[in-house]
Every structure is written in structure tokens, then in C-alpha cells.
């Protein structure tokens, strides 16, 4: 008689497939105090993080020479659970997918524009 695999547990699922894992998602934004792109990304991330119940830490790369060596001119750099999602500009679709938030496509208007 063939053995059947056990159903996946939350530890076996990726964050995209597991609502509990999405809620525990840990995002790190590597940033600089004087970087306007960094501030733009942080502001755009806040509602996504809140909607997903995720955690966001903002780390100033200038606080650690090793971070400067690694990220220097790439900032802002966004990681989720250690996986780089984007740098320079927020890839909202990728972040939404990782957090399980779905797409942002706007609903079509029922009346044509005049």
C-alpha cells in the first residue's frame, strides 16, 4: 500500500503560501539618514508592513563599516527574511507577493472618462 505524504506544516511552507509565516515576516531596510530614496521606500513600506502584520527594522548602513562595504551605493536595500527583494526603488508587487497581500490593480471605472 503506498504511503501518502503528510500535509505540509507551516514550517514546510514558504511565506507566500503560509498566512502565519507572512504575519511573522521580518523585513530589514538598509538605509542612510541623508538618502531621499531610502525615506521614500520606508514611507511606501509602512502601510504594507502594517497590512501584513510584519516587522520592519530600518538599519543605517553608515553605523557599521561591514554594512557600508556590502550595501554602500545600493541603498535603499530591502530584505525579507534574509532574501533581497529590491534596491533603489520599492518593488511593490514583489513585496506584496512575499507578504501575501495580493496585487494593487485598481478597479476599472464603470463609466468612461469624458
Q: What is the pLDDT along the chain (114 residues), one digit of tens a residue?
A: 444 444 444 344 444 555 554 457 999 999 999 999 999 999 999 999 999 999 999 999 999 999 999 999 999 999 999 999 999 999 999 999 999 998 765 544 444 444
> What is 73-108 written as a DSSP string?
GG-SEEEETTEEEEESS--HHHHHHHHT----PPPP
Residue 11 inside a domain? The answer is no
CATH number at residue 52: 3.40.30.10
pTM more than 0.85: no
Establish if 13 belongs to a structural domain: no
Does some domain include residue 29?
A: yes
**Residue 53 included in any domain:** yes
Q: Which residues contact 22 (CB under 8 A, 6 or more apart)?
A: 15, 16, 52, 53, 54, 98, 99, 100
3: in domain: no
Does 31 map to a domain?
A: yes
Distance, CA of 25 to CA of 28 (rounded, Å): 10
Range of the domain at 48: 19-99
Residue 27 in contact with residue 49, Cβ under 8 Å?
yes
69 in a structural domain? yes
Of the candidates 44, 74, 76, which has an alpha carbon nearest to the alpha carbon of residue 58?
76
Q: In total, how many domains does the chain have?
A: 1
Measured distance CA(79)–CA(75) in Å, rounded: 11
Tell whether 74 is covered by a domain. yes
Amino acid at each position: 500500500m503506498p504511503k501518502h505524504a503528510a500535509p505540509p506544516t507551516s514550517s514546510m511552507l514558504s511565506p507566500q503560501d503560509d498566512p502565519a509565516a507572512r504575519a511573522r515576516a521580518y523585513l530589514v531596510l538598509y538605509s542612510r539618514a541623508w538618502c531621499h530614496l531610502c525615506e521614500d521606500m520606508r514611507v511606501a513600506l509602512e502601510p504594507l508592513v502594517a497590512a501584513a502584520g510584519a516587522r520592519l527594522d530600518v538599519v543605517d548602513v553608515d553605523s557599521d563599516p561591514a554594512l557600508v562595504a556590502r550595501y554602500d551605493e545600493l541603498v535603499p536595500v530591502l530584505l525579507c527574511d534574509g532574501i533581497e527583494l529590491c534596491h533603489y526603488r520599492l518593488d511593490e508587487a514583489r513585496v506584496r507577493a512575499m507578504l501575501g497581500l495580493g496585487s494593487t490593480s485598481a478597479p476599472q471605472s464603470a463609466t468612461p472618462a469624458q
